[in-house]
């Protein structure tokens, strides 16, 4: 065999992933089919809570009260509406007592009480101020799945007309169950919206229908694989149903990002004359390494949520890490195998030619962003403009981003309640009636657990001290059982507003001759906020340190990692400002179809920061890797920045638009937290791609000049030994390295 007929030499990794492409795809198909089976029914095993700190005082008190005084923790409320009659009407009272007796006989239900219960000290709080409505309270026992099954069984029997009264079903268990059901239904609708729209956008980006299907296939593999992982995790720990939304969004979005980057680089190599196997080798050595780094940076941001005790946040870490790694693995293993088999046919079925109506294909179009295309020339002009006016763009974009983030200074933290649901949802209607028409917060007050021996006089004196607190509406109790007792404290105003949270601290500071623990919605919120505040510095430090290290390994620069962290954080300001302005303050609530509770659920900003920061780093790595590749080849800093923006500007914008479409589809959810998550992150990725990556990053890099690439000798040698970049090697010339050494003095 002559030299010209020898197959191209490829590296070990390329040889591994492309040696048996058909076998690789067959194995992937089998594994995906198994994942479908393993992940079936995962949604039914997911929980709808997880906002509380399991080690907090409120959690301990809640469990103790559930065990000793189940009636103290009602999670089911039946709103009995007597219409124009009074709840004290004999016929109404008789029917209500009959309903309460029936409810007490139901399996899995305990602690039944009502306004009509003769010995109930809480009776006044269970009667509406207009006298036409009153409550029956109860507790459904078991875990979240068992409670949901019990509610499904008994709710149809009690809901609706019963003689002279109309009954509505509400309470925390009904809210959680309705929220879980709504999320599952909304997720199916989001997928129906996102998949075809994503396919259309990919066809517009690639032109080729064949190339457009590849990212979609990678995304489906990642989503199905993550569902199987989550199903396995439910055997060992609690997982939130909200994590399903992140699985779909990130699985599809990141798979599109990674596949876009790899397929586009592969097509560039083919357009430059490389054979398919050689093109795959170059693609994996360059874009493949970038995808690996990108996946690690996103996974790091999501892993930071593992430091928090709430399983709501930990669930997003489980789902996010799994889907990121699976998307990267599919892009780096399955996609190269598919590209080997397709070869030049990756450009087949060019649907854009239907729009050209016989016009000749523009030169270089297959490359998807070569300098000769209209897109490439547009990004070159943008880069030139930004770098000529670098101070203006750096200061201007920073000022705009800071201004957009100012509303977040007025954030108020709260807890998730029935107002997460549509206003037409039954449990929302019931809870709204209670808020509007009942004194205090029935079912949402504070409970004080008293443990230890005490005399009736001591209990009475303690109750008196509680009643004297300024934010207390009424104190009921104590109910005593063996060596423990509990008091119910109704705060003035809302169950979890500022005065109610202040009352938690006042109750915990009130002296007593026995041990006391406070629980209730406001206490859970206070403890959750404390847990997040305690662990937030640790999570932020973890993200910052690991991100700095990864970006240094990619670039070999000391300044670029710092720039990346600061500018990424700055890119999120618009998202946080919009969250407060829209969802807390209620602007656009009519247009977007939600009820504003006047606060932001405590864990949501943490979740949104970790997800959005990771996605911003995803785009940052794409841009920086191409700049680094050009700088290693030429040593020309300004040209490297222009080249990087010209080569990746369209790619990053396309990826961001597609991911934003997926997140907006998630944002069509009827549950407010999911709507906030989807629309907020969609805004964050668009701002990052169109403002930060396109304007702020090149402007800042122009201002820092060649000093951007400086690193002290020991770190430079460390990077030369352990670092990776798209070029896959050392700087092209000694002159480049010498310039790096002295750049900081220039």
C-alpha 679: how far from chain center: 11
Q: What are phi and psi of 162, to 5 degrees?
A: -140, 95
DSSP 8-state symbol, 86: -
Contacts of 312 (CB under 8 A, 6+ apart): 49, 50, 51, 240, 242, 603
Query: Cis omega before residue 478 (within 30°)?
Result: yes
Bridge partners (DSSP) of residue 601 are 414
How many Å apart are CA 154 and CA 148, to the nearest integer? Answer: 10
Contacts of 580 (CB under 8 A, 6+ apart): 407, 408, 410, 411, 600
Q: Which residue has the higher pLDDT, 580 or 740?
A: 580
Band (pLDDT 50/70/90 cuts) for residue 528 is very high
Res 13 pLDDT > 90: no
How many Å apart are CA 664 and CA 465, to the nearest integer? Answer: 51
Q: Which stretches within 40-171 are classed as H helix?
A: 57-68, 90-105, 144-158
How many Å apart are CA 453 and CA 10, to the nearest integer? Answer: 79
Distances (CA, A) of 231 to 35, 39, 407, 564: 10, 5, 39, 35
DSSP 8-state symbol, 44: G
DSSP per-residue string spanning 294-355: HHHHHHHHHHGGGGSS-HHHHHHHHHHHHHHHHHHHIIIIIHHHHHHHHGGGGG-SBTTHHH
* Torsion angle defined by CA atoms of residues 360, 366, 367 and 370, in that order, rounded to the nearest 10 degrees: 10
163 contacts 623 by C-beta, under 8 angstroms: no
Question: pLDDT tens digits for 108-149?
Answer: 998 898 888 855 555 677 889 888 999 999 989 887 788 888
Q: Domains (ranges, CATH) in the chain?
A: 1-17+27-40+183-352 (1.20.1640.10), 76-170 (3.30.70)
Least confident of 267-281, 389-403, 547-561, 567-581: 267-281
453 contacts 484 by C-beta, under 8 angstroms: no
Element housing 169 (H / E): strand 165-170
Question: pLDDT tens digits for 238-274?
Answer: 888 888 878 888 888 888 889 888 988 888 888 888 8
DSSP per-residue string spanning 184-250: HHHHHHHHHHHHHHHHHHHHHHHSBHHHHHHHHHHHHHHHHHHHHHHHHHTTTS--BTTHHHHHHHH
Secondary structure of residue 488 in the 3-state scheme: strand
Secondary structure of residue 389 in the 3-state scheme: coil
Res 27 pLDDT > 60: yes
The pLDDT, as a whole number, for residue 736 is 46
What's the predicted TM-score (pTM) here? 0.85
The pLDDT, as a whole number, for residue 473 is 85
The pLDDT, as a whole number, for residue 403 is 95
Res 727 pLDDT > 80: no
Band (pLDDT 50/70/90 cuts) for residue 1 is very low
Contacts of 80 (CB under 8 A, 6+ apart): 87, 92, 96, 99, 133, 134, 135, 136, 165, 166, 167
């Amino acid at each position: 065999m002559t030299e010209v007929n020898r197959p191209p030499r490829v590296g070990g990794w390329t040889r591994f992933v492309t040696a048996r492409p058909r076998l690789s795809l067959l194995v992937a198909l089998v594994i995906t089919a198994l994942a479908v089976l393993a992940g079936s029914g995962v949604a039914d095993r997911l929980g709808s809570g997880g906002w509380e700190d399991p080690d907090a005082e409120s959690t301990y008190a809640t469990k103790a009260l559930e065990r000793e005084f189940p009636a103290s923790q009602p999670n089911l409320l039946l709103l009995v509406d007597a219409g124009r009659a009074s709840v004290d009407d004999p016929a109404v009272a008789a029917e209500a007592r009959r309903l309460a007796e029936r409810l007490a006989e139901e399996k899995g239900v305990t602690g039944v009480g009502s306004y009509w219960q003769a010995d109930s000290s809480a009776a006044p709080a269970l009667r509406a101020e207009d006298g036409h409505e009153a409550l029956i309270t109860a507790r459904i026992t078991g875990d979240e799945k068992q409670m949901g099954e019990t509610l499904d069984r008994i709710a149809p029997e009690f809901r609706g007309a019963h003689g002279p009264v109309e009954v509505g079903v509400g309470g925390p268990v009904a809210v959680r169950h309705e929220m879980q059901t709504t999320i599952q239904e909304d997720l199916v609708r989001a997928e129906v919206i996102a998949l075809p729209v994503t396919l259309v956008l990919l066809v517009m980006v690639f032109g080729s229908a064949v190339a457009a299907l590849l990212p979609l296939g990678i995304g489906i593999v990642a989503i199905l694989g993550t569902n199987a992982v989550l199903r396995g995790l439910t055997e060992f720990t609690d997982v939130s149903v909200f994590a399903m939304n992140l699985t779909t969004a990130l699985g599809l979005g990141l798979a599109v990002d990674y596949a876009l980057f790899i397929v586009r680089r592969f097509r560039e190599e083919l357009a430059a004359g490389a054979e398919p196997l050689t093109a795959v080798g170059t693609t994996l050595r360059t874009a493949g390494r970038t995808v690996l780094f990108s996946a690690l940076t996103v996974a790091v941001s999501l892993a930071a949520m593992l430091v928090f005790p709430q399983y709501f946040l930990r669930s997003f870490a489980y789902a996010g890490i799994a889907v990121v790694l699976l998307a990267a693995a599919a892009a780096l293993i399955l996609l190269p195998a598919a590209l080997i088999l397709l070869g030049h046919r990756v450009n087949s079925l060019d649907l854009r030619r239907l729009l050209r109506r016989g016009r000749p294909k523009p030169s270089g179009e297959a490359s998807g962003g070569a300098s000769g295309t209209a897109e490439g020339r547009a990004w070159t002009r943008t880069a030139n403009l930004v770098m000529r006016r670098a101070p203006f763009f750096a200061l201007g974009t920073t000022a705009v981003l800071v201004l957009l983030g100012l509303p977040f200074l007025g954030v108020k933290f709260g807890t998730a309640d029935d107002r997460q649901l549509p206003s037409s949802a039954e449990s929302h209607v019931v809870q709204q009636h209670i808020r509007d028409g009942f004194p205090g917060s029935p079912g949402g007050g504070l409970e004080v657990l008293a443990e230890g021996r005490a005399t009736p006089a001591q209990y009475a004196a303690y109750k008196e001290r509680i009643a004297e607190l300024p934010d207390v509406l009424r104190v009921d109790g104590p109910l005593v059982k063996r060596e423990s007792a509990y008091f119910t404290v109704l705060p003035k105003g809302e169950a979890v507003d500022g005065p109610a949270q202040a009352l938690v601290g006042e109750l915990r500071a009130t002296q007593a001759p026995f041990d006391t623990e406070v629980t209730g919605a406001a206490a859970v919120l206070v403890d959750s906020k404390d847990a997040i505040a305690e662990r937030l510095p640790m999570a932020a430090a973890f993200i910052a340190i690991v991100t700095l290290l990864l970006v240094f390994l990619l670039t070999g620069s000391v300044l670029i990692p710092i720039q990346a962290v600061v500018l990424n954080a700055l890119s999120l300001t618009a998202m946080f400002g919009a969250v407060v302005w829209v969802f807390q303050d209620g602007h656009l609530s009519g247009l977007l179809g939600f009820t504003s509770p006047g606060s932001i659920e405590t864990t949501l900003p943490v979740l949104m920061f970790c997800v959005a920061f990771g996605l911003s780093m995803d785009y940052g790595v794409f841009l920086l890797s191409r700049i680094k590749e050009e700088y290693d080849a030429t040593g020309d800093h300004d040209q490297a920045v222009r080249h990087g923006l010209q080569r990746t500007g369209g790619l990053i914008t396309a990826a961001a638009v597609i991911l934003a479409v997926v997140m907006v589809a998630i944002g069509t959810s009827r549950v407010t937290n999911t709507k906030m998550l989807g629309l907020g992150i969609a805004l964050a990725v668009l701002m990052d791609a169109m403002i930060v990556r396109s304007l702020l990053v090149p402007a800042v890099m122009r201002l820092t000049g060649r000093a951007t690439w400086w690193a002290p000798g020991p770190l430079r040698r460390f990077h030369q030994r352990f670092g990776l970049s798209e070029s896959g090697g050392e700087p092209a010339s000694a002159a480049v390295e010498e310039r790096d050494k002295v750049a900081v003095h220039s």
